[in-house]
Structure 1
Amino acid sequence: MITLLSAPSNLGLRPPEQGSVPGAAKAPEALREAGLFARFAELGASDSGVVLAGRYVDDDGRRPSDRVRNESAVVDHSQRLAARIGRALDDGDAPLVIGGDCGIILGAGVATASRGGVGLVHVDGHTDFRHPGNSDECGAVAGEALAAAVGLHQPAIADINGLAPYFSADRTAHIGHRDDDEDLQEVRALLGRVTSAADVLARGGAATAAESAAVAGPAYWLQVDVDVLDPAVMPAVDSPDPGGVGAADLTALLRELAPRAVGASITVFDPDLDPEGRYARLLVDVLTEGLSELGTGVHA
């Protein structure tokens, strides 16, 4: 059974402007208001509540260079989120985690790694592969989450509870980057499969999803950052880049990936950029149509 879990964290994002706070933490309630939880309840899903994050602090300028923004709060939230995800998995449920920024993949990684590990399918408009080995500008987990998930970051976030890497690089498939992604060469060299948004558009969501699922194995975590969608379709994200996929493409991709996913996380929708709720309602349609079979094929 699917169980929905809210993870309203914006701890991994840079502030949109000095003195302000990112809006992604509002996403779970905005999507609830748009009907997401009710639609999944109609499919038999349960509600596992919320894992609240600590206070967001913009500590640029006074934070040590080897620490990420809100590091202690990120680690604490990841551990508490992992415990809640773990309980759902132990109960035989498929957790659908509604974020929040994409740093919540750390909680999913801790939960799954502590239970023997699974593969990862990472659907995102960016590779999120900045890390201390390739950049002097680290500090925001949301742009570094995939690198941390496969063990390429400071141990404080990449080795929580001594579980690094949370996901094996050769069982990790990434889908959805734009062709100008700055870390693309390294990602292609390290991960099991890397598929661009242009390839999804050219060959269709179902075909590219099947190839990625084959790399990730018989069971995997599914991380979906909604900026994989083109800004013409979904502008309500912190970093919209042209060249993304359409809503139908993403729905087909998720429909193919969902059955073998032990759980999924949805991230980086920013309700501050969607005052009328139009894009929230679009996401509700995509997610309910695409993820209705979440977890149903894991033990098949």
Structure 2
Amino acid sequence: MKVILHTGAHRCATTSFQEYMRQNAQPLARQGIGFWGPHRTRGGLFHGIQPGPAPANGRDLVQRAQGRLQIQMASCRERGVQQLLVSEENMLGSVRANLRIGDLYSGAGERMARMFQAFGGAVTDAALSIRSLDSYWTSALAYAVARGHKLPSAGGLERLAQAPRSWRDVITDIACAMPGVRLHVLPFETFGSRPEAALAAVTGIEAPRTHARVRLNASLCLQDLRASVPSAVAADLPQGSGRWRPFDDAQTASLREAYADDIMWLAAGADGLATLVHDPDKQAADTNPPDIGLTRGRPDDKQRRMAGSG
């Protein structure tokens, strides 16, 4: 049985993908696809994998978590599951931690190494959704402010814009933490609204298209964001409607340039660490394009009589 870890990231339509998987659980089960989402992973399944307070009874929580996962995976095999997809964006970290530190999943390597160990080497593939850094941080800030986080200061925005860590570093950390695992990178701009295409790219099946256009947990637009926060905070938000844009033009350009560098690195092979998943509906040009229009024909040589002057 293949075990595929879908690690998010946050704010990359991960919740919508998980809802798509839940709604299509039965047709996917007929194709041998099993699914564990947050409704299951956050109910105690992953308890003890990441460091936490030591238990008073002295039990080894890591060992208990490994045993719990082995029992659950054995049950999936008995039911005929051929590919088990585990989708949990908190495997990488949290949006709150990213904003507090001002960095992009700085502990992703250590966290994914513990997850890999907990599954006992059963993980064969991993999938990571990435997004242009300017829209990622904007979405993360809107999500946090709507839940009581304070508005970012000018210095905080500048630190995010100039942070040296990008998706390339996150991908490198994940690949090093899980040696031998195939890492698939799915750009949000291509797969964010197409969960069926993302599932097909990772599993190789013909994914169902039902419930594929459900959109959950989207960022609030400015007018909705102002309505959801206290009046003192709403007064500091820009007026108008549409998407909130906290970064200035120079900061946005810097973040987009960093993302473009990440995509170029992935397209060039990512040093053998990961595979960039391309849009399945776009056909790439062949190595040798067809030779057309290289010789002159009769229409080019046709002589035309021009009217005389008299």
The structure carrying a bigger strand percent of its residues is 1
Structure with larger Rg: 2
TM-score (norm: length of structure 2): 0.29
The structure carrying a bigger helix percent of its residues is 2
TM-score (norm: length of structure 1): 0.30
